[in-house]
Amino acid sequence: MDVDQDLELPAEARALLDAVVAIGSDLDLRGVLTRIVEASCELTGAEYGVLGIVDDEGDFIDLVPNAAVGEQFTQIGRMPEGHGLLGLVPRERRSIRVDHVADHPVSTGSFPHSHPLIDRFLGAPVLVRDQAFGHLYLGNKRGHEEFTATDQALVEALARAAGTMIENARTYEQVEWRRRWLAGTGEVGRDLTGTTSVEEALDELVVSLRDLCGARLVAYVRVDAGLLEVRQVAGDTAAAPRVVERYADQVRDVTSSRVPERIPHDHHRTTLVVPVHTRLSGPGAILVDRAEETPSLRDIMLDLVSVTAAQLGLILDRRQALSERAQLLVARDRDRIARDLHDLVIQRLFATGMQLQGARALDPAELRTRVDGAIAELDGVIKELRSVIFELGTGSGRPLLDDVRALLSEYAAVLGFQPLLRIQGPVDRALVPEAGSHVLSTLRESLSNVARHAEASSVTVELTVSSAWFRLRVVDDGRGFDPATRTTGSGTGNLRARAQELGGHVVVSSAPGQGTVLEWVIPTVG
């Protein structure tokens, strides 16, 4: 007798081994799941197959169909609710074979629109370490035959093997995601030399995080006494104010509780709101909108975004420390100048006064000489004062952003809601104080116009700085107006005059029911 014939495996066993080898050859999780469904259909002769993936609560979050039914399942447009036979498999945690679906006691007898009609049914749970990952459902064996006990045994064996391969694929996906995260964020912020490099590091961090998460938008949002400031943004920048406003409550909640929040959506999408802890820069949060979150990344994505938030917090504290150091140097310089004023200028004035006081009894010739000397001394004092004033610069007024924040907080009571502030670029270093006062006056007048006429429910204030221009943009969602039928009022005229005085311009765009956008643009200085 031939030895090879003695060792020849049954056809079903060979098919099962071939299926296991084929599934194990793919490291991509989605590829593994698709191969499981296709192999199950080939082993049993099923026309239709789908692997329903569930979350920790047992709710379906994704479907992986075979090619024959993929387009039909896409058209259904909703997840199963776990009724009928679909719910029986997870409840009993065992394989179930049914010859006629309509005759089964738990069958509902109805299918969603575009769903193929199923008469024969075979289902089995897919477990990963005794935890339900999903459930495999097969329907309608080819040739209108019934599923056999052998088919059921093959599917059970394949489901057990699939659990191990799914775990391996999930581990690989997690490791690969961590590797990409380290490559994208590991070096950011390690070589900071000043304010500009800090801004670049923050921009690089949010861009890297968006690419890594496949998100529609990533933004760093600072929270200051209820006022939301949209700072660094990567992705759909035009939608940033609307997105941040939509999640304003979650942003405020996580900054106070310091507990990240995960907001799931359909089709593997989720929004993450993660607090940014700082010691010097004030509270804030990273908003990752519509990230691509597969089941295997559900836990580590939130953890690693939290690590990125901690990294961002360190960069922010570094920037604040540099700023406070610069302010300390200025304060020390002012103390030195004050001492110089006292030691040099005031003492010289006092000495000159004493000389003049003692000249009362002198004869005219000596008196003239004494007065001439006093005048020369006063000229020297004036030069000293000019030098000191030049060193002091234009004064010690607070940064423009602090004044803007205070103004927005002031108008929150007038408007009935807190405006949203969006900042792009080094706003505090872009303008001289005189131009900054025009910015504040323009912003005050714009907010007053919104409060009086717009009937708005939200306002976004944007401050944007480029190498050549400074732009103040005020957007409201109020009733708007028709520019063709509305005459220019004194308020708009004042805004235009201020801009023209500084070499800039004003653009106001609106439409009935579409809100109003005001753009006030002037050249940057400094």
Domain range for 256 is 193-312
The pLDDT assigned to 189 comes to: 57
Most confident of 322-331, 348-357, 389-398: 322-331
Q: What is the CATH number of the domain that holds 198?
A: 3.30.450.40
Show the tokens assigned to 308: 């990125």
407 in the same domain as 378: no
Residue type, 32: V
The pLDDT assigned to 293 comes to: 82
Q: Give the length of the chain.
A: 526
For 168-181, what is the mean pLDDT? Answer: 83
The pLDDT assigned to 473 comes to: 94
The pLDDT assigned to 15 comes to: 65
For 274-292, what is the mean pLDDT? Answer: 89
pLDDT tens digit string along 363-382? 777 777 777 777 776 777 66
Q: What percent of the chain has pLDDT over 90?
A: 19
Quote the distance between the C-alpha of residue 149 and its chain's center.
Answer: 53
The last residue of one of the domains, among 335, 360, 392, is: 392
Q: What is the CATH number of the domain that holds 514?
A: 3.30.565.10
For 11-28, what is the mean pLDDT? Answer: 66
The last residue of one of the domains, among 312, 335, 352, is: 312
The last residue of one of the domains, among 392, 420, 452, is: 392
Q: Regarding predicted confidence, which is higher, 120 or 350?
A: 120
The pLDDT assigned to 462 comes to: 94
513 contacts 498 by C-beta, under 8 angstroms: no
Residue 317 maps to a domain:
no
Confidence class of residue 111 from pLDDT cuts 50, 70 and 90? low
150 in the same domain as 56: yes
CA-CA distance, 250 to 281, in Å (whole number)? 20
Residue 442 maps to a domain:
yes
284 in the same domain as 200: yes
146 in the same domain as 292: no
385 in the same domain as 406: no
Residue type, 493: G
491 in the same domain as 367: no
pLDDT tens digit string along 468-492? 899 999 999 999 888 877 655 545 7
Q: Regarding predicted confidence, which is higher, 194 or 229?
A: 229
388 in the same domain as 302: no
Q: What are the CB-based long-range contacts (under 8 Å, 24+) for 190-194?
A: 192/315, 192/318, 192/319, 194/322
Tell me the CA end-to-end span of the chain in Å, nearest whole number. 96
Residue 266 has pLDDT above 90, yes or no: no
Residue 120 maps to a domain:
yes
Number of domains in the chain: 4
Q: Regarding predicted confidence, which is higher, 106 or 96?
A: 96
Most confident of 74-88, 319-333, 369-383, 446-460: 446-460
Q: What are the CB-based long-range contacts (under 8 Å, 24+) for 243-251?
A: 243/217, 243/219, 243/287, 243/289, 244/219, 244/287, 244/420, 245/420, 245/458, 245/460, 247/271, 247/273, 247/287, 247/289, 248/420, 251/221, 251/223, 251/285, 251/287
pLDDT tens digit string along 232-257? 899 888 888 889 999 999 999 999 99
Show the tokens assigned to 174: 């997690």
Residue 103 maps to a domain:
yes
Residue 345 has pLDDT above 70, yes or no: no
The pLDDT assigned to 284 comes to: 92
363 in the same domain as 273: no
Residue 121 maps to a domain:
yes
Q: Regarding predicted confidence, which is higher, 418 or 393?
A: 418
Residue 275 has pLDDT above 80, yes or no: yes
Q: Regarding predicted confidence, which is higher, 311 or 20?
A: 311
Q: Regarding predicted confidence, which is higher, 294 or 43?
A: 43
Residue 362 maps to a domain:
yes
Residue 395 has pLDDT above 60, yes or no: no
Q: What percent of the chain has pLDDT over 70?
A: 78
The pLDDT assigned to 2 comes to: 45
pLDDT tens digit string along 196-242? 467 788 888 888 889 888 889 999 999 988 889 998 899 888 888 88
- The whole-model pTM stands at 0.65
36 in the same domain as 164: yes
Burial code (b: 16+ CB inside 10 Å, e: under 16) for 113-138 equals: eebeebebbbbbbbbbeeebbbbbbb
175 in the same domain as 116: yes
Quote the distance between the C-alpha of residue 76 and its chain's center.
Answer: 32
pLDDT tens digit string along 406-450? 889 888 888 889 999 999 888 877 787 778 888 988 998 899 889
CA angle 90, 94, 97 (to 5 degrees): 100
For 504-516, what is the mean pLDDT? Answer: 91
Quote the distance between the C-alpha of residue 171 and its chain's center.
Answer: 27
306 in the same domain as 421: no
Residue 184 maps to a domain:
no
How many other C-beta atoms are found inside a 10 Å radius of the C-beta of residue 153?
A: 13
Residue 526 has pLDDT above 60, yes or no: no
The pLDDT assigned to 525 comes to: 64
The pLDDT assigned to 340 comes to: 61
513 in the same domain as 413: yes
Residue 273 maps to a domain:
yes
Confidence class of residue 173 from pLDDT cuts 50, 70 and 90? confident
pLDDT tens digit string along 137-156? 998 998 889 999 988 998 88
Q: Mean of the per-residue pLDDT values for the chain?
A: 80
